[in-house]
Structure 1
């Protein structure tokens, strides 16, 4: 049996002080694999200074093109009008971003976010994408080819996946997802961009009837049912904060995710299931595929009707 490697990534590092507090704690205690930082967000400077002071090596770049919450909003770093709504902040929804963003402006913004993190001494481990805005899930307008080329230039792995775990109800339920994944993962291989094998998702919000205990049980079950290879799951941990609980939707779920990472039952399940907690350094070394084979795979996918 092949080993089962798992990356637990904390998204939204730099979003706000309560999220920073949770993510810093989890990284310090080595309860998670990595985090990805949001350069345009209001908590970025605090998070970046902490990373530089500690020489934190497992922090990636959370490519951010949307600003979804009324209580916490931010503009782009480059100021291009196609990246903003009427308030002067980045747009709230993925659909709005896909419909109005100029591709050239998107790539300049991503370059500015990379430079903002790098210039503050962060040794970026990988890149991923806030809200999946670059994937084309809302209207079909994807920026993934451009982003993969950029990651190749940056020499960074990217959060993508080669296969869809049939037990993942969210991803397996997307029509045509298998074919899209095959095409894009083959392109990553051609460009030499390392990616994980699987992405494991769970609902961002509290579903009807869900409690912390049922959420914990579901996440523990995932550890025992993990597919072979390199998987990533992402969380949005945050400490309790009275204002955020009122003003930010689903904040309680973020608190649950923070609590779960510190829960000894969850830590025991990882060990008992034989799961190896790893990070994107492992993906960098083991997540590439042959460029020649990837080129054949990509050609085959492009020729399919």
Structure 2
């Protein structure tokens, strides 16, 4: 039996002070694997200074092309009109981004975000993508090949996956996802980009009748069903904040995710389920596929009718 490894990544580092407070605390207590930072967001400077001061080595780049909440919004770094809505901020939805964004403008923006993180002294561990805007989920217009080429240039692992975990509430319901994953993971292998085996999601919104205890039970249950190999899941932890609670949908769920990572029951379940909490340094060492084998796999997938 292969070991079971899990990466718990905190998305949206740098979004706001309440998110920064929660993520910094979890990283300091080593309750999570890593975080990914948003360079265009208003809380970036605070998060970046904390990373630089501590010499943090498990913070990656949260490639950001959308700005979804009225209460906290941001423009792009490069200012291209196709990356913004009529308010002058990044598009609110991935559908709007996919329909309007110019590809060259996207590439310039991603490079600018990388350069900003590096210029602030952050030693990046990996990269991933805010809201999945690069994956083509909204309209089918994917920027994943471009993202993988950039990660190859930057020598960073990327949040992708080789297999779709059966029953995943987000990924398993996407039409054609198995073939898209096979092509993208093969391309990652050809380019030498390290990736996890699985990506595990859970509903982001607060469901009717959902309580913290029910949410906790669901996520702990996933630890016992974790597939063999390297899996990643992502959370959006935040501290309680009256303004955000009133103005950001499902803020309570973010507070629950923060609470869960500090819950002794979750820490016990990790040990009891035989799951090793790891980070992207492990992916960097063990997450690359054979380039030759990946080339054959990619050709096979592209020729498949």
Sort the TM-score into its range (normalised by shorter chain).
over 0.9
Note the C-alpha offset of 1:259: 0.1
Instruction: State the Cα RMSD in Å.
Output: 0.5
Matched, 1:83 2:83: yes
Q: Secondary structure at the match of 2:231?
A: strand
Note the C-alpha offset of 1:272: 0.5
Matched, 1:13 2:52: no
Note the C-alpha offset of 1:168: 1.3
Q: Deviations over 1:62-96 (max 9, x none)?
A: 00000000000000000000000111111101000
Q: Secondary structure at the match of 1:122?
A: coil
Q: Secondary structure at the match of 1:128?
A: strand
Look up the match of 1:241: 241
Note the C-alpha offset of 1:169: 2.8
Note the C-alpha offset of 1:143: 0.5
Note the C-alpha offset of 1:207: 1.1
Distance 2:168 2:139 in 1: 22
Distance 2:40 2:209 in 1: 35
Look up the match of 1:256: 256
Look up the match of 1:188: 188
Note the C-alpha offset of 1:210: 0.9
Look up the match of 2:288: 288
Q: Secondary structure at the match of 2:301?
A: helix
Kindly report structure 1 stretches of 4+ aligned residues shifted beyond 4 Å.
Answer: none
Aligned residue runs from structure 1 range 124-273, under 5 A? 124-273=124-273
Taking structure 2 as the reference length, what is the TM-score of the superposition? Answer: 0.99
Note the C-alpha offset of 1:248: 0.3
Distance 2:61 2:295 in 1: 27
Distance 1:169 1:152 in 2: 30
Distance 2:164 2:86 in 1: 38
Give the aligned length. 305
Note the C-alpha offset of 1:212: 0.2
Taking structure 1 as the reference length, what is the TM-score of the superposition? Answer: 0.99
Look up the match of 1:123: 123
Distance 2:63 2:171 in 1: 21
- The question of whether the paired residues in 1 share the 8 Å contact of 2:37 and 2:61 is answered with yes
Q: Secondary structure at the match of 1:171?
A: coil
Note the C-alpha offset of 1:185: 0.3
Note the C-alpha offset of 1:167: 2.9
Distance 2:102 2:289 in 1: 31
Note the C-alpha offset of 1:282: 0.2
